[in-house]
A and B are shown apart, each in its own frame.
Chain A
Amino acid sequence: MNSYNKKEEQEQMRQRLHPATALLYLVAVVFLSLLFAHPFFLLALFVAVGTIILSCGLVHEWVNYLKVGCGFLLVIMMVNVLFVRAGSTVLFWGPAFPGLGRMRITLEALCYGAGMGLRLLVIISAFCLLMYVVHPDGLIQLLGGRSYKTALALGLSLRLFPLMRADFLRITEVQQCRGVNYRGKKPGERIRKIVPAINVLLLSSLERAFQLAESLQVRGYGLGRRSHYLGKKWRLGDKLITVCVGAGSLLSLWLVWSGQAVYSYYPRLQSIKIKEVYSAVCIGLLFIVPACLNWGWKKWPSLRSRI
């Protein structure tokens, strides 16, 4: 897929969705991921968010986020396995450590770590979606009015983050061209060499911040009461997504309240009932609707004006 198409797809999603819808969706996903402990429900959310990311052609970007997420996942699993002594299915008895006793690795601790890691992957994927599909301007528009300053700071941060990343890459390239070797084997040496690059980055960022502030000043920022231009309309697609997200969230709350989406890892892994799987699939389907709309918009262009 070439970049034009890719950007086009991200743009389609960004342009079609009202920022409120996008934000509602992401808040719901993050909230439910924190609510659920059941791995099937977390998996359903992960698949739903992942499908939307795929429908936007953001595979490469998502993989980069997942790489970081998987690193954390491994750390979480290791820490949990090594330090949590709960669980009854012992997989391995290790040596004894002073103060900790004999190491005891259980299946339950391993699964709990994996479940929590999955939760982290859902949140990281939601953040990826926020970065690439939700327009920072949309957030500013949304928060508008009284929270304008906060929204502007948030929007600028979201915009400046990739800029600073690009700056850092450029600066390290330039320093390498002056003979700086960042590939040193000793971490201390590497850190010592990276410090000048960070120094340049901070100085350049300060200069840029000053220029942005000057640009804001000449465009009348902070004059007092400002008006609010709403470029986006609340369309049928937004209503559809909101209804689905609302229904999904209510269903999730009811399932958790009624104990149907609760899962306990300790002392022994709870068995998974088929009903729970159906419920998880149902939640996943409700949260996958934006991806379906995205594909629909691509496949049947006439839908764009209808939904």
Chain B
Amino acid sequence: MAFIKVEDLTYYYPETETPALEKINLSLNRGEFVLVLGSSGCGKSSLVRALAGLLPDFYGGRFGGRIYLENQEIRTIKRSALVKKVGMVFQDPESQLIMSSVEQELVLGMENLGLPVSLMKRRLMEVGEAFALSPYLQQRVTQLSGGLQQKVVLASILAMQPEILILDEPTSQLDPVAGEEILTTVRKLNEDQGMTVILIEQRLERCFHLADRVVVMEKGRIVQNQTNLKQLVVWAVKEGSPFLPPLPKLFARSGFTRIPLTVKEGRGLLSEETGGRFSCLSAEAAADQTGLVSRSQKKAKKPSPSPCLTGEKELLLQVENVAYTYENGVEALKEINLELYAGDFLVLMGENAAGKTTLLKNTRGLLQPTKGTVRFLGQELKTRPIEEWAGEIGYLSQYPGDYLFLPTVREEIEFTLDNLHLPKGVRVDLLLEKLGLTKFAESYARDLSSGERQRVALAAVLAADPKLIILDEPTRGLDYELKAHLGEILQNLQKEGRAILLVTHDVEFAAEYAAEIALMTQGTIIAKGSKEEMLSDSAFFSPQVAKLFGGLCAEPVVTLAQGKLVLEKIWERKEEGRQTMRSAEGAEK
């Protein structure tokens, strides 16, 4: 008997004519770890909200079909029983925290259930210990980092002891370490306590291998419901679906028939395929095929010239000995030195609260350094008001919604142009086309999906034609396809000679599109270099491809393209070996 059963579920949000969910049929077993995938706006969140009983009770709208929990129709289950059965964690921790202190936040759900105080105390102690939250119980939730806030939300739901845990992109706002922690905890709950977990996640490299079942959605429908992950990979490769973690994608696209799901499996497979002589082979491959160079050659080699410039690179941004202390005394930046030239693409990475956003704000003039100077084209930023730099420095904040208030996307772009007294007309159309927004030109930007909103905000920034573009966490909540699109847009801007300074927690995105990486911690830049140098030998800040080839390959391999070349070489050599064997056997016969 299925634990959760969905029959012909169709749902329309109020005042819409297109269904968010259409004819959904799904059966999930008790204790399964279910991963729900799909592009932005495909209906993933609507489906899990329906399973949590939020649709249609909370949202309204038209609802058809049935959902059964342990054979009981969900709409006949009392809300108190449903809340005990299903717990749900959303994307943004800050928008889920109701109370001010951690302790009160943790007990809120239990109080609502009317549990006795003695039981609440016991459960509070349990979740406090399990999530290492005990030292923070008396703290204000606003004083916690994003990772801890999300832990508090998760712990407060688990204190209610639900049988089904639904998580809607719980790690999208967290750094890799905090994200890993949350998912490890969820996996433990699933494995040790048999809790049914339904997870929506965009960064598949973190969780794909954990899933017992993967459900892929498209335009409100389920297009795949697989318990065999390898078959799903085969399907995804055949259909060209972007919803694959980098590692299976790499192997499948390099012609391998056996597809590993984890780095461990991948390394084992490589070892088998090369007979343990992997490092020699890859070194050769690196030298003659992949375009990567040996360490000695690399030392001799000068940095590759910027794709955009044939002559001397123009120094755009100069950050000299910058320190910044907030009014409350927090020393957010210490002795930062940074230079950015035209055509540079630098990604800042680091833990939550490392000072990345503060640095971006200092480089845009939104904050004035407590010490040191920030110059753009040789001129100190503080010599001109913030708005006067809009034509030179573009800034995209973490919240695209902060940009959007006008009735149409076109007007949003024109607003920037009007402020700067720049001509409109063709310029707007070109920008709309460049960012793939032409079809949304007359739409209300706040009605668009997260990826589309992001692009509208970017268009509003790019309208000023800035030489330096600063982006704070632009990949938050974007799926693989949208991230790839954004990456391409940024690389094209880089080719046009614009400098890009970007903050992200998304290691895979940084590995694919950045040129350089700077790692920040506690207000300082502790390391800066090419992405190959920075991402190849880290436990957390390295992409799956780098983990796969780490220590095996003479040269760092961090992008999918680099990895693909190495794997293709291995495949070719294997084929050559087979042919040689066959020829030798033929000769013997």
Interface residues of B in 76-124 (CB under 8 A from A): 79-80, 83-84, 86-88, 90, 92, 94-101, 103-104, 107-117, 120-121, 124
Residues of chain A with a CB closer than 8 A to B88's CB: 218
Per the bound structure, the CA–CA distance linking A137 and B139 in Å amounts to 11
Task: Tell me if A178 and B95 are in contact (CB < 8 A).
Answer: no
Known contacts A223-B83, A227-B110; A200 and B401 CB within 8 A of each other = yes
Task: Tell me if A3 and B419 are in contact (CB < 8 A).
Answer: no
Per the bound structure, the CA–CA distance linking A217 and B57 in Å amounts to 10
Residues of chain B with a CB closer than 8 A to A222's CB: 112
Task: Tell me if B114 and A178 are in contact (CB < 8 A).
Answer: no
Min distance, Cβ A173 to any Cβ of chain B, angstroms? 5
Task: Please tell me if B410 contacts chain A, counting CB pairs below 8 Å.
Answer: no
Task: Please tell me if A119 contacts chain B, counting CB pairs below 8 Å.
Answer: no
Task: Tell me if A177 and B83 are in contact (CB < 8 A).
Answer: no
Task: Tell me if B329 and A6 are in contact (CB < 8 A).
Answer: yes
Task: Please tell me if A214 contacts chain B, counting CB pairs below 8 Å.
Answer: yes
Per the bound structure, the CA–CA distance linking A25 and B111 in Å amounts to 28
Task: Please tell me if B125 contacts chain A, counting CB pairs below 8 Å.
Answer: no
Per the bound structure, the CA–CA distance linking A14 and B143 in Å amounts to 14
Task: Please tell me if B208 contacts chain A, counting CB pairs below 8 Å.
Answer: no
Task: Please tell me if B561 contacts chain A, counting CB pairs below 8 Å.
Answer: no
The interface-forming segment of B22-30, B390-398, B483-491, B571-579 is B390-398
Q: Mark A182-201, 1 if CB is under 8 A from B, else 0.
A: 11000000000000100110
Task: Tell me if A170 and B98 are in contact (CB < 8 A).
Answer: no
Task: Please tell me if A1 contacts chain B, counting CB pairs below 8 Å.
Answer: yes
Task: Please tell me if B229 contacts chain A, counting CB pairs below 8 Å.
Answer: no
Q: Mark B43-64, 1 if CB is under 8 A from A, else 0.
A: 0000000001010001000000
Task: Please tell me if A159 contacts chain B, counting CB pairs below 8 Å.
Answer: yes
A215 to chain B: closest residue by CB? B96
Residues of chain A with a CB closer than 8 A to B138's CB: 11, 14-15
Per the bound structure, the CA–CA distance linking A156 and B104 in Å amounts to 13
Known contacts A174-B395, A177-B366, A199-B405; A219 and B83 CB within 8 A of each other = yes
Task: Tell me if B330 and A3 are in contact (CB < 8 A).
Answer: yes
A4 to chain B: closest residue by CB? B329
Task: Please tell me if A60 contacts chain B, counting CB pairs below 8 Å.
Answer: yes
Task: Tell me if B111 and A229 are in contact (CB < 8 A).
Answer: yes
A179 CB contact (under 8 Å) in B114, B120, B387? B387
Min distance, Cβ A285 to any Cβ of chain B, angstroms? 30
The interface-forming segment of A66-74, A204-212, A256-264 is A204-212
Known contacts A178-B390, A200-B401, A223-B114; A60 and B395 CB within 8 A of each other = no
Per the bound structure, the CA–CA distance linking A135 and B142 in Å amounts to 12
Q: Mark B356-372, 1 if CB is under 8 A from A, else 0.
A: 00000100101000000
Min distance, Cβ B247 to any Cβ of chain A, angstroms? 34
Residues of chain B with a CB closer than 8 A to A158's CB: 100
Interface residues of B in 137-166 (CB under 8 A from A): 138-140, 142-143, 153, 156-157, 160
Per the bound structure, the CA–CA distance linking A217 and B420 in Å amounts to 45
Residues of chain B with a CB closer than 8 A to A173's CB: 361, 366, 386, 397
Residues of chain A with a CB closer than 8 A to B95's CB: 208, 211-212, 215
Residues of chain B with a CB closer than 8 A to A218's CB: 52, 54, 83, 86-88, 157
Min distance, Cβ A81 to any Cβ of chain B, angstroms? 36
Q: Mark B414-450, 1 if CB is under 8 A from A, else 0.
A: 0110011000000000000000000000000010000
A158 to chain B: closest residue by CB? B100
Task: Please tell me if A302 contacts chain B, counting CB pairs below 8 Å.
Answer: no
Min distance, Cβ B413 to any Cβ of chain A, angstroms? 10
Q: Mark B260-286, 1 if CB is under 8 A from A, else 0.
A: 000000000000000000000000000
Task: Tell me if B329 and A215 are in contact (CB < 8 A).
Answer: no
A227 CB contact (under 8 Å) in B117, B326, B404? B117
B387 CB contact (under 8 Å) in A6, A163, A176? A176
Min distance, Cβ A44 to any Cβ of chain B, angstroms? 30
Per the bound structure, the CA–CA distance linking A156 and B141 in Å amounts to 13
Interface residues of A in 20-57 (CB under 8 A from B): none
Task: Please tell me if B327 contacts chain A, counting CB pairs below 8 Å.
Answer: yes
Known contacts A11-B138, A156-B98, A218-B87; A170 and B397 CB within 8 A of each other = yes
Task: Tell me if B98 and A212 are in contact (CB < 8 A).
Answer: yes
Number of interface residues of A (CB under 8 A): 63
Task: Please tell me if B135 contacts chain A, counting CB pairs below 8 Å.
Answer: no
Min distance, Cβ A232 to any Cβ of chain B, angstroms? 10
Task: Please tell me if B461 contacts chain A, counting CB pairs below 8 Å.
Answer: yes
Known contacts A136-B100, A178-B461, A178-B464; A219 and B328 CB within 8 A of each other = no
Per the bound structure, the CA–CA distance linking A217 and B460 in Å amounts to 36
Known contacts A140-B99, A218-B87, A229-B111; A203 and B405 CB within 8 A of each other = yes
Residues of chain B with a CB closer than 8 A to A99's CB: none
Known contacts A174-B403, A227-B114; A137 and B100 CB within 8 A of each other = yes
Task: Please tell me if A301 contacts chain B, counting CB pairs below 8 Å.
Answer: no
Min distance, Cβ A26 to any Cβ of chain B, angstroms? 17
B389 to chain A: closest residue by CB? A177
Task: Tell me if B416 and A170 are in contact (CB < 8 A).
Answer: no
**Range for the number of chain B residues in contact with chain A:** 35 or more
Residues of chain B with a CB closer than 8 A to A208's CB: 95
Task: Please tell me if A141 contacts chain B, counting CB pairs below 8 Å.
Answer: yes
Task: Tell me if A229 and B120 are in contact (CB < 8 A).
Answer: yes
Task: Please tell me if A101 contacts chain B, counting CB pairs below 8 Å.
Answer: no
Task: Please tell me if A224 contacts chain B, counting CB pairs below 8 Å.
Answer: yes
Task: Please tell me if A278 contacts chain B, counting CB pairs below 8 Å.
Answer: no
Task: Tell me if B99 and A155 are in contact (CB < 8 A).
Answer: yes
Known contacts A215-B96, A220-B113, A224-B114; A178 and B415 CB within 8 A of each other = yes
Task: Tell me if B108 and A219 are in contact (CB < 8 A).
Answer: yes
Per the bound structure, the CA–CA distance linking A199 and B401 in Å amounts to 11
Min distance, Cβ A19 to any Cβ of chain B, angstroms? 11
Min distance, Cβ B112 to any Cβ of chain A, angstroms? 4
Residues of chain B with a CB closer than 8 A to A164's CB: none
Residues of chain A with a CB closer than 8 A to B115's CB: 227
A215 CB contact (under 8 Å) in B90, B326, B403, B406? B90
Task: Tell me if A3 and B387 are in contact (CB < 8 A).
Answer: no
Q: Which of B114, B157, B385, B406 has the most CB of A within 10 A?
A: B114
Per the bound structure, the CA–CA distance linking A207 and B52 in Å amounts to 20
Task: Please tell me if A2 contacts chain B, counting CB pairs below 8 Å.
Answer: yes
Residues of chain A with a CB closer than 8 A to B331's CB: 2
Known contacts A2-B329, A204-B402, A226-B112; A220 and B99 CB within 8 A of each other = no
Residues of chain A with a CB closer than 8 A to B415's CB: 178, 196
Task: Tell me if A177 and B386 are in contact (CB < 8 A).
Answer: yes
Task: Tell me if B405 and A196 are in contact (CB < 8 A).
Answer: yes
Task: Please tell me if B399 contacts chain A, counting CB pairs below 8 Å.
Answer: yes
Residues of chain A with a CB closer than 8 A to B328's CB: 3, 6-7, 60
Min distance, Cβ B504 to any Cβ of chain A, angstroms? 19
Known contacts A211-B95, A229-B117; A179 and B104 CB within 8 A of each other = no
Per the bound structure, the CA–CA distance linking A14 and B54 in Å amounts to 36
Task: Please tell me if A150 contacts chain B, counting CB pairs below 8 Å.
Answer: no
Residues of chain A with a CB closer than 8 A to B390's CB: 176-179
Q: List 29 A-B contacts (CB under 8 A).
A: A3-B329, A7-B143, A7-B328, A137-B99, A156-B98, A159-B142, A163-B94, A176-B385, A176-B387, A177-B364, A178-B415, A178-B461, A178-B464, A181-B385, A182-B387, A196-B406, A196-B415, A207-B401, A208-B95, A211-B95, A215-B95, A215-B96, A218-B54, A219-B108, A220-B80, A227-B111, A229-B104, A230-B117, A231-B101
Q: A140-B104, A178-B416, A227-B117 are in contact. List 20 more A-B contacts (CB 8 A).
A: A2-B331, A3-B329, A137-B101, A137-B104, A173-B397, A174-B403, A176-B386, A176-B387, A177-B390, A178-B390, A178-B403, A180-B419, A181-B385, A204-B401, A215-B90, A218-B54, A218-B86, A223-B83, A224-B114, A231-B107
**Interface pairs A-B: 3 shortest CB-CB:** A179-B419, A3-B329, A220-B112
Seen from chain A, the residues whose Cβ lies within 8 Å of a Cβ on chain B are 1-4, 6-7, 11, 14-15, 60, 135-137, 140-141, 152, 155-156, 158-159, 162-163, 170-171, 173-183, 196, 199-200, 203-204, 207-208, 211-231
